[in-house]
Amino acid sequence: MPRFSIVVPSHGVAGRLSQALDSVLAQSFGDFELIPVCDAPDAPAADVVTEYAERDSRVTPVHSPPSDGLAGARNTGLRAAVGGHVLFLDGDDVLVPGALAALDARLDEAGEVDVLYFEHERTPWWEGEPTNPAAPLLARTPDGAFTPDRAPLLTGVTLPAWSAVYRRAFLTEHNIAFPGDHFTDVGFGGLVALRAERVAALRTVVVRHLMRRQGNRPALPGEHHAELLDQTELVLTRAAEQDLPADRLKPLFEQLFAAVLKTAAHPRRLTSGRRAFFRRASTLYRRHRPDGYRAPGGSLGVQHRLLASGSYAAFRSLRALHRTASRAAALLPRPRGLRTRLRYAAALRLPLDRNLVVYCAYWGRGYVCNPAAIHAKARELAPHLRAVFLVEPDAVGSVPPGVEYAVIGSRKYWQVLARAKYLVNNANFADAVVKRPGSVHLQTQHGTPLKTMGADQATYPVVAAATGSFAKLLARVDRWDYNLTSNRHSTEMWERAFPSTHETLEYGYPRNDVYCTASAEDVARVRKELGVPDGKKALLYAPTHRDYATGFETGLDLAEFCEAIGDEYVVLLRAHYFYDRGASRGGGRIIDVTGHRSSEDVCLAADGLITDYSSIMFDYANLDRPIVVYADDWDVYRETRGVYFDLMELPPGRVARTPGELAAVFRDGSWADETATSLRAAFRERFCQFDDGRAAERVVRRVLLGEPPASIPPVIPLAERVPAPAATLVRS
């Protein structure tokens, strides 16, 4: 039997889960079992956990459906545990080095105790000093093992479940489990403290709690706050059944109602049902108030007395006194120009148009990418919806006939942004855009992240300087309701880079649908439009942007390259969209396609891809055609831009470091040999998970038509997909 069973729920923390598991497996004390609790075998965290289970036999994952919540996940882990003591660790928290050794030593010293409480550190997600909220409470406890009556303030309801280790036989004997769905730590901690006969404290930090930017669920607005009263009633009812002594009942009562009053007075937590919450809290207060109880002094005492009397109107008036004018001012929209600001503010007061969808791509560059693909599918599946595409003045020509548009900054632009129920973007809307209650913002993204994104860019000075205010960036992220991903890697990285409360949709990228639906005739048509000569192999060269460079430089002499590889090839040059100025480059065997509207068309036309670190490689891999990585400055790029994985260790095909090496792989045919094919197959397995040709349909049905997740078409397995045929290559 292992000394410790460590239960780690993983729902919604796939991006940080590795840190939690690593912190356990790196402990110097190794007598433990690690029990990650995943939603399902195909959940985002399951991929992470599977790798750990294959490497270490102490990792024994179990599954609990998301509908069972945090309490259900912990209870599932507890039922699977066989260790002498149980420790609960959230999936985005870590054990400090030496934590288990310190717990083991303290348990040996204290003897058999039911609960060992310990300190924890709360670390701000961005900046600020860590805090140790348990330290003052534990500092007042006796040095050795003690009975609960010697530390009456240690009621259990103010400490999270992961701030203690529990004797498993004690929990089993008293049938103690996590109650309810929300505020479960309050109920669990209270029940544990009521039943424990012998406890001890360790005045050392054991868990480092990594605070989430979006906050913990109990602090977010919603109807779930009523469950705080459920947990309060549960604990106080059990205390009454045990006839808890007055010196223990008073602090328990006071701590529970401190949390209740904080919620009742918090206007953002209780978005509705405030009066019903207050009335029920008042009933509980009077029913469980200890005999002879005297309310505290000051403003808190006033709140106690109002709660005891059930005076909701007076309580509401007291709360209103603390509102500030700055809060109201912060909600005002701030587009440039007083007249525009007033018009936008007036439009925001009008009802949402529930049939209006606003689309935008690449800050208004045109009718392209995922928003365009979603729009096209919506015209088919949801023709009742009115769609307006937002474009810059010079991109109006890219909008197909029959598609309504609005020029960015125009009066119509602000009108549709104020009224639309649905807003779809692959970048972000302007800072001045207000997220209205009832509106739905879909972030489609526009690539798979190799380079660091969002908040992860903060530690790279060159990128951070170009990004600007991270506070503004994250304020834009807070408007998202849904975030689209095309593979499990993206799911994990977006969670880290864009921390907020949006829902992740693992539906694939709609723009990539064409890679599974295009025919040989479509490929031939596009090649003719681009001017690719019949019978020639077309190589798409698509380098990415360098944050440390100014202007566009290919890093490769394309004329010399074409000369070196022979006449059977032509090169399609597609510079990063930052450098699309409509000017032509090259000539003859070099065809400049930078200004072509659709990157998907360009990929369909190409028989192979040459790129450095551009995310186009992830999209192109869906075609199952050869990819060559030209990594002449990988070390510099990795250090200045930051990357999420080592591309040199997981390339999609052959890698060349110099122009000579690049030409050689085409001269000797190794760019498309068995080794290149094997590398591409592994790459596709990891990064082409959800792009099956039906992504746009899934998005339209789920987001625009509101169909339940269970009715959304499942993803077609990779092995069953048939990519669009290449013009000159025969796929095995």
Q: What's the pLDDT at 456?
A: 83
Judged on CB neighbours under 10 Å (0-12, 13-18, 19+), 731 is: exposed
The answer to whether the beta carbons of residues 619 and 603 sit under 8 Å apart is: yes
Judged against a pLDDT cut of 50, whether residue 732 lies above it is answered with no
CA end-to-end span of the chain, whole Å?
Answer: 52
Cα–Cα dist 617/427, whole Å:
19
Q: What's the pLDDT at 581?
A: 40
**Nearest of 674, 731, 729 to residue 539 by alpha carbon:** 729
Beta strand pairing call for 405-407 and 386-391: parallel
Average pLDDT over residues 304-329: 69
CA 495 from centre of chain: 2
Q: What's the pLDDT at 36?
A: 95
Judged against a pLDDT cut of 80, whether residue 236 lies above it is answered with yes
SS3 for 464?
A: helix
- For CA atoms 640, 646, 650, 653, the dihedral sign is positive
DSSP string, 500-532: SSPEEE----GGGGHHHH--HHHHHHHHHHHTP
Average pLDDT over residues 627-636: 93
Judged against a pLDDT cut of 60, whether residue 552 lies above it is answered with no
Cα–Cα dist 241/94, whole Å:
37
Question: 337-395: per-residue pLDDT in tens?
Answer: 667 778 898 999 999 999 999 999 999 999 999 999 999 999 999 999 999 999 999 89
- State the pTM of this model: 0.70
Question: 92-132: per-residue pLDDT in tens?
Answer: 899 999 999 999 999 999 999 999 999 999 987 766 678 89
Supply the mean pLDDT for the chain. 89
Average pLDDT over residues 601-615: 95
**Nearest of 471, 351, 473 to residue 419 by alpha carbon:** 351
Under the banding of pLDDT at 50, 70 and 90, the label for residue 582 is very low
Distances in Å between the alpha carbon of 713 and those of 517, 654, 702?
Answer: 16, 35, 10
Cα–Cα dist 239/290, whole Å:
11
Which residues, other chains included, contact 581 with Cβ-Cβ below 8 Å and sequence gap of 6+?
none
Structure tokens belonging to residue 124: 């701000």
Cα–Cα dist 64/38, whole Å:
6
**Nearest of 513, 526, 521, 520 to residue 596 by alpha carbon:** 526
Beta strand pairing call for 93-95 and 199-210: antiparallel
Structure tokens belonging to residue 341: 């600001």
Under the banding of pLDDT at 50, 70 and 90, the label for residue 324 is very low
* Strands, E assignment, 25-159: 32-38, 62-63, 85-88, 93-95, 115-123
Question: 1-40: per-residue pLDDT in tens?
Answer: 999 999 999 887 777 888 899 999 999 999 999 999 998 7
Question: 433-442: per-residue pLDDT in tens?
Answer: 999 999 999 9
Q: What's the pLDDT at 586?
A: 41
Beta strand pairing call for 115-123 and 164-167: antiparallel
- For CA atoms 170, 172, 176, 178, the dihedral sign is positive
**Nearest of 448, 479, 503 to residue 645 by alpha carbon:** 448
Cα–Cα dist 454/480, whole Å:
14
